[in-house]
Structure 1
Amino acid sequence: MNLLKTLAAISSMTMVSRITGLLRESLFARAFGASPYTDAFAIAFRLPNLLRRLFGEGAFSQAFVPIIAEYKSQQGPEATKTLVDHVTNVLVWATLAVSVAGIVGAPLILAVIAGGLQGDALDAGIVMTRLMFPYIVCMSFVVMAGGVLNTWREFKIPAFTPVLWNLSSIFFSLFMVKYFDVPIYAMAVAVCVGGLLQVAWQIPALQRIGMLPRLSLNPLAGLHDPGVRRILRKMGPAVFAVSAAQISLLINTNIASRLGAGSVSVLQYADRLMEFPTGMLGVALGTILLPSLSKANTEGDSAEYSALLDWGLRLTFLLALPAAVGLAALSTPLIAALFNYGAFRADAVAAATAPLMAYAAGLLGIILIKILAPAFYARQDIRTPVRIAVGVLVATQLMNLVFVPLLGVAGLALSIGLGACINAAFLYTGLRRRGIYTPHAGWLAFFLKVVAAVAVMGGVAWFGQAQFDWTGMRAHPVLRIGALLLVIAGSGAVYFAVLAGLGFRPRDFMRRAK
């Protein structure tokens, strides 16, 4: 498997997902702006999203993928299919029970995580929390399916799956809002519809590889399976790690809800833009590397293990550094061109620009975690990232005490970004000290060349964006988007031209997985 070609394929699918996601957010901003009701939606979605990461993308994936890779390699398709059946049954029934509890306990949940919401906005938040909690059941199945398909190296289908949720939200924001007495409720319904569409999309792919799970009416079926028990034991520390990060996020949400109307929303808009490079590079690389690292670990090939990590880290620096500088330099143009329509006014652009610039400071760390953490998960070592995550949770909240009084909402974003950099530094140190990763020769020269190219690119981007009045072009969206694309394309061309002049060639990053 050509890893660079596979990365390009996954990144292209992720790009479609992120573009439709930005369109979704743009339409949301146009319809609802930044208000107590948008804060209520963001907060109501926060807990189901947290649990999705807990039961799905976070703790479950970290424990599941290395073990299913081991089963596939050593025990054959029949044993692997039995494991998939049992794991899915336990996962679906567990998330269903949590979903019912969330629907019943919605008022208490909102009181705890969003003390700043009051009156009608609080009532709307309770209703939307209840509407969106069943989403986690759908997503637990989707993430299980994605883990199986990625192990079979069917990367494109899981990478495209999030597009369906975006399309659901786009459809509801354009056509269904008028049918709801409280218009923003349409977006909560869109979340669950999107979850069902994602489940339906994965089923034929699982069927093709003979891994479509059979569910049992017995919630306890499968708990006797040794493989399931291993996954649950591995999930214990992983749950703690993911919980630490998400608890920090919930604390930040509570703080933001007290910083004035619209604060939660502008933080979310900035977060969505930050997720664009994170998804295209960090998530895509992590998706490729985890099965390959798991296979190398199962086969005892330490040289291949280290080489895969070195390849991933070089690509990260090559692409994440310019992305971070670009987000910072073009923060106002990006926010204005994507969101400054309808109810999203110029003051909201200014409010969302500051947290986006703060996020950019930590983007490299956020992406590096996506590469470094799988190096531990593939070895079925989840405890080390757990200990680091707990320390980072404490450090992030201590930084909030300093940055929030000084910078407001931007202080929250800066604490998250710097916390991610601390996390990445400790993960890297752990890999080096244990001899898991040994950098290949040439890192210093590589890094200095990338920094030089990024510096030139950053100057071009800053000069280019200064030539336009981005909020003043609100009445001419096509021209504004065209101007933004021109600045981005020019900056990117300069960056890669400087790299080419310094001797970089695409073939230097070609790699095949064994």
Structure 2
Amino acid sequence: MSETEPSRQEKPAKPSKSFGLLRSSVIVSVMTLLSRVLGLARDIAIANYFGSKTEADAFFVAFKIPNFFRRLFAEGAFSQAFVPVLTEYHTKRSHTEVKELISRTMGTLGGVLLILSSIGILAAPLIIHISAPGFRKVPETLVLTAEMLQITFPYLMLISLTALCGSVLNSFNRFAIPAFTPVLLNVALILATLFMTPWFDEPVMALAYGVMLAGIAQLCFQLPFLVRLQLFSWPRWGWHHEGVQRIMKLMVPALFGASVYQISVLFDTVLASLLETGSISWLYYSERLTQLPQGIFGIAIATVILPSLSRKHAEQSSESFSRTIDWALKLVCLVGIPSALALFILAEPLIATLFHYGAMQDSDVFNAAKSLRAYTLGLVAFMLIKVLATGYFSRHDTKTPVRIAIKAMFASMILNVILVIPLKHAGLALATSLSSLLNAGMLYWGLHRIGVFKLQPGWRLLSLRMLLANSLMVFVVYKLMADVSFWLSWGWIDRALQIALLVSAGVLAYAAALFLSGFKPRHLAH
């Protein structure tokens, strides 16, 4: 037996043929729903304990900065470059070569991020001076934020290695484990808020330690599943490995493209830190609500179709490639449009139900609702970007999304400056939404122009059905919704019951209208 042939003990793990894209999407969505629900519970606990005080703003900044790099190295450029290369290795090469690629990539990524994390810890005060200049007005907040950043920064390396493990599992159709993993972060922060805060002179420091402990737990949780697939070996430095070199070549433009978006996000934070106290928290709470449908459906669909599109590209199946993207876009529209409309209508009730306790004031509810409505205008675009970008990454094209992202970033920054003066923090959210619409439109046109994607039959009829269903849903929810003053005066039980009633009525109205107009579940088959 040659060295490149797997032994009986190293038999390659084959993707399960029984999993269709829809079933896989549902699995990821269910697991992500659990994570997002616990994420909301986490935010409720934080809002109840800290509200929109300076301590909350400080933690959100200290958490956002490692998340900025996480989205570059984990969810962003790395996974977009790694999955297509890994899929090609799995399709065309031996199991031993696949295993070595994973080992070399893990060792190289871990080494680079260890150095970056060390620099981040040492330079924490300088980073806070740059990323949140408004904190200079209150030196105590500046120092507190820097101290928390030194604790949260190692999360970057831990969660990036976790994302690598998750990308491997996704490529082998083990979608549930990576989708469940974020639950551990939410559990850790809830426990930190409820039980660890009394241990510190500054209670908010408990959240920073909760983040670090969550990173350790998430990585340790996924490693056994790689072992079970016989895909784990000790990380080794592999800068000159052929597969690692290919990943880096794909990653550089993708890294730049992802950084463009994250720079825009940090620019929002800089401007928000210059506004009144609470602006960062209002943006955070409202963005978290829009991330619920994004994570449950948008990111779930993109996660599932990336390995599938990569295989279709490797097999040169262009027609099937186009149909897969079309299927994903239809699913995004079916879920994203009603989600955006519901969030827009129910902005104050949702924020009051979830966050209006303890330190959260009435004014916080109204201010967070303003930015939530602004974010909902771009919700469908946020989801479309996730799906459309996979059409490029699966074809090993990371440069085109970069060019598009740069244009969208400049548009966002210009809109930020224009809108922040009259609309304050809501203007920052609106600028993000408008630039995302531009980004999604350019991504769509690019795929259509080069001929790798075209709309399949059925869009006109589906659009009419969605128009009818969404109109009925909006009418029902608006008629049943009580005045905002009642939501602010009710206790949590009354709020929860009313939200459950409104959501149930809206879902039933939407589903009934689709069904009566002739839409059937089989139309979602792929």
| Inter-partner Cα distance in structure 1 for 2:393 and 2:108 | 21
| Inter-partner Cα distance in structure 2 for 1:401 and 1:386 | 23
Deviations, residues 425-460 of structure 1 (Å, cap 9, x unaligned)? 000000100111011112122112212211221122
Q: 1:29 to 1:194 in 2, by over 3 A?
A: same
Matched, 1:135 2:155: yes
1:2-151 paired onto structure 2 within 5 Å: 2-117=20-135, 118-151=138-171
Match for 2:506 among 491, 496, 501? 491
Q: CA deviation at 1:463?
A: 2.2
Matched, 1:400 2:431: no
| Inter-partner Cα distance in structure 2 for 1:290 and 1:470 | 45
* Counterpart AA for 1:385: P
* Counterpart AA for 2:212: C
In structure 2, the residue corresponding to 1:57 is in which secondary structure? coil
| Residues paired across the two proteins, number | 506
Contact 1:340 1:349 in 2 (8 A): yes
Match for 1:182 among 202, 217, 224? 202
Contact 1:116 1:258 in 2 (8 A): yes
Deviations, residues 63-100 of structure 1 (Å, cap 9, x unaligned)? 00000000000012110000000000011111111110
Contact 2:192 2:207 in 1 (8 A): yes
TM-score relative to the length of structure 2: 0.95
Match for 1:345 among 353, 361, 371? 361
* Counterpart AA for 2:512: A
In structure 1, the residue corresponding to 2:257 is in which secondary structure? helix
In structure 1, the residue corresponding to 2:316 is in which secondary structure? coil
* Counterpart AA for 1:276: L
Deviations, residues 23-69 of structure 1 (Å, cap 9, x unaligned)? 00000000000011111111111110011111111000000000000
Contact 1:336 1:470 in 2 (8 A): no
Q: CA deviation at 1:200?
A: 1.1
Contact 2:348 2:484 in 1 (8 A): no
Structure 1, unaligned runs of 5 or more: none
Q: 1:214 to 1:258 in 2, by over 3 A?
A: same
* Equivalent position of 2:337 in the other structure: 321
Q: CA deviation at 1:473?
A: 3.5
Q: CA deviation at 1:466?
A: 2.9
Contact 2:465 2:519 in 1 (8 A): no
* Counterpart AA for 1:212: F
Q: CA deviation at 1:468?
A: 6.2
Match for 2:438 among 412, 418, 422? 422
What's the Cα RMSD here? 1.0
Match for 1:161 among 155, 172, 181? 181
* Equivalent position of 1:173 in the other structure: 193
| Inter-partner Cα distance in structure 1 for 2:284 and 2:483 | 28
Moved more, 394-403 or 8-17: 394-403
Q: CA deviation at 1:402?
A: 2.1
* Equivalent position of 1:250 in the other structure: 266
Q: CA deviation at 1:467?
A: 5.0
* Equivalent position of 1:506 in the other structure: 521
Matched, 1:479 2:494: yes
* Equivalent position of 2:11 in the other structure: none
Deviations, residues 292-342 of structure 1 (Å, cap 9, x unaligned)? 000000000011101101110111111100000001001111100000000
1:270-289 paired onto structure 2 within 5 Å: 270-289=286-305
Q: CA deviation at 1:405?
A: 1.3
* Equivalent position of 1:228 in the other structure: 244
Contact 1:332 1:470 in 2 (8 A): no
